Structure 1
Amino acid sequence: MTGAAGKQVFLWTFVVAVLVMLSAPTVVVLGASFTAGNIITFPPEGLSLRWYARIAGATDLRDAFLRSLYVATICTLVAIPVGTLAGIALSKYAVRFEKTIQIYLLLPFTIPLIGSGIGLMLVFGEARLLGQLWPVGVACCVINLPFMIWAVMASAARLDPDLELAAANCGAPPLSTFFHVTLPAVMPGVISGALLMFILALNEFLVSLLLVDARIVTLPVQIYNSIRSIITPDLAAISVVFIACAGAAVFLLDRLVGLDIFLKSK
């Protein structure tokens, strides 16, 4: 075997191993959700859709899922204007305290999420907002906002400044230039960042656990409360629903922006 052939074999072996490790949990959960038995097993004990029918009729799971959608929507609606303006400003202008802001953008990777969650719990507790659902969406936005800013910055960095100068030379006021030149140019970053924020908020567990009470639990918290007693196949089925939502977001991203543009922005 030549050196080049050996490298190819090693590379493809590594790629296949990584793909297997990444896809194995999804495959196991997917198979377990179709089991005909009463406990989670893989391979499944026969095939049945009974657990999907069960979660369709489970009001607690359905209500928790709707609450998660509400939280994700609030997070996305707050993140779009804030993250878009911040990303454009950081990419195009000399912003005061830029270094401090850049450090803030690294916080999701440096500060434990439990620390951020407790801090937000104390802030909302002092404001007497605990027990409501919309603060959970705001908290998810605060924690994950750097991802939105990065996505917009990646698109804004590729914007040709001559386009804005040309619009100004043609007499367009700054606001018109922003809405007709700058914003359309960064729209791929806005869309990709918004979809990412939606998925992150939809799946957020720790912050939701700290900020909600038993009356308004989101779906990740509901699943956590359920598995503390017994793990049944309906939990695998609702997990597949989560996976389907993420897949739908990726499909929507591909249709609206294009995965090639999204990946290049990263």
Structure 2
Amino acid sequence: MNQSRAQRWVLGFFVLLALVMLSAPTVVVMGASVSAGRMIAFPPEGFSLQWYGKILAASDLRQAFGRTLVVALICTAVALPVGTLAGIALAKFRLRFAGAVQVYLLLPFTVPLIGSGIGMMLAFGKMGILGQLWPVGIACAVINLPFMIWAVTASAAALDPDLELAAANCGAGRVQTFLSVTLPAVTPGIITGSLLMFILAMNEFLVSLLLVDARIVTLPVQIYNSIRSIITPDLAAISVVFIVMAALAIALLDWLVGLDIFLKSK
């Protein structure tokens, strides 16, 4: 009994420690964003929402945010059909190059983003499309596509094959079976992967830095350019906006499919 209680105390301590370590940066940024001072500081020097008003009034930040939103939408639009079909194929069929595909799915964890970014910069430069906005969305889709595939594969693996056989026995063709049985069954994975791709593209910095120029900087690159000179509380306010967007995406994910589906897809 004492040993069990001691184990709970130790486990609780490490859980609390992990929560503090994960939440501390967010708390610091949120506190710094409402500082009344002109320099970023924590604890904040008084309380003021002036920095949120400043970022709303800054045209360069609004334009950078708009470009980032376009990149995220392009990334999601590209990853949606490709990741869905690839995830279903991996779960339902024995592919000849399944081993190579599995290696590809590990690339986000094994290949540094700087390497992927330089490779895409050279490739897009050869094609003459470097410095445009839409290739940035394509690049974000390429480097983050495994997350979409994982999400769809998790849902497709849970699909009972007898449902598809029953649809075929009832006279449904392959396309009709796919649209009426397979696609609805993997919809939770599609929603999960799409939201994840959107969030990752919104926050992508390193690859965007290599692919954009001064005319089409995205918001993460704009923030980086700003902190190279001076760090002011408006940058903390922008960071809080990103945090709120991520929180809203998680809440939407939980409402649509449940966080348990998302965790299983990982």
TM > 0.5? yes
Higher mean C-alpha deviation, range 250-259 or range 209-218: 250-259
1: CA distance between counterparts of 2:16 and 2:10? 10
> What is the Cα deviation at residue 110 of structure 1?
0.8
Match of 2:82 in 1: 82
Match of 1:119 in 2: 119
> What is the Cα deviation at residue 202 of structure 1?
0.3
Match of 1:12 in 2: 12
> What is the Cα deviation at residue 104 of structure 1?
0.8
- Coordinate RMSD, CA, aligned: 0.8
Paired positions, count = 266
Match of 1:139 in 2: 139
- Residue 167 (1) aligns with residue 167 (2): yes
Identity percentage of aligned residues:
73
Cα deviations by residue, 1:124-179 (Å, 9 ceiling, x for unpaired): 10110011100000000000000000000000000000000000000001001001
- Residue 59 (1) aligns with residue 59 (2): yes
2: CA distance between counterparts of 1:116 and 1:265? 24
Correspondences of 1:1-266 after superposition (within 5 Å): 2-266=2-266
The one-letter amino acid paired with 1:215 is: R
> What is the Cα deviation at residue 259 of structure 1?
1.2
> What is the Cα deviation at residue 262 of structure 1?
2.0
The one-letter amino acid paired with 2:47 is: L
2: CA distance between counterparts of 1:14 and 1:220? 33
1: CA distance between counterparts of 2:5 and 2:90? 46
2: CA distance between counterparts of 1:262 and 1:101? 21
**TM-score, normalised on structure 1?**
0.99
Cα deviations by residue, 1:59-102 (Å, 9 ceiling, x for unpaired): 01111011111000000000000000000001100112111111
The one-letter amino acid paired with 2:133 is: L
**TM-score, normalised on structure 2?**
0.99
1: CA distance between counterparts of 2:261 and 2:71? 28
2: CA distance between counterparts of 1:16 and 1:132? 45
2: CA distance between counterparts of 1:59 and 1:37? 23
The one-letter amino acid paired with 2:154 is: A
2: CA distance between counterparts of 1:144 and 1:72? 11
- Secondary structure at the counterpart of residue 7 of structure 1: helix
Cα deviations by residue, 1:236-256 (Å, 9 ceiling, x for unpaired): 000000001101110110111
2: CA distance between counterparts of 1:174 and 1:5? 57
The one-letter amino acid paired with 1:119 is: G
The one-letter amino acid paired with 1:223 is: I
2: CA distance between counterparts of 1:182 and 1:153? 12
Gap runs ≥5 in structure 1: none
> What is the Cα deviation at residue 265 of structure 1?
3.0
1: CA distance between counterparts of 2:67 and 2:251? 23
Gap runs ≥5 in structure 2: none
1: CA distance between counterparts of 2:252 and 2:6? 39
The one-letter amino acid paired with 1:176 is: Q
2: CA distance between counterparts of 1:115 and 1:153? 27
